[in-house]
Amino acid sequence: MCWSSLEDEAKALFKVKQFLGKSGEVFPLSSGNQLVILVGLGKEEDVNPAGLRTAVRQALLSSYAKEPKSFEIISLQKNQDDQSIIATIEGILIGTYKWTKYKNRKEI
- 59 CB-near residues (< 8 Å, 6+ apart): 26, 37, 39, 65, 73
pLDDT at residue 15, as a whole number: 92
pLDDT at residue 80, as a whole number: 74
Q: Does 20 score more than 70 pLDDT? A: yes
56-63: average pLDDT: 84
pLDDT interval class at 64 (50, 70, 90): confident
Terminal C-alpha separation, the chain: 33
Closest CA to 59 of 74, 81, 79, 80: 74
pLDDT at residue 58, as a whole number: 86
Whether 36 contacts 6, CB under 8 Å? yes
- The two counts, helices (H) then strands (E), for the chain are 3, 2
93-97: average pLDDT: 81
* Total-model pTM: 0.70
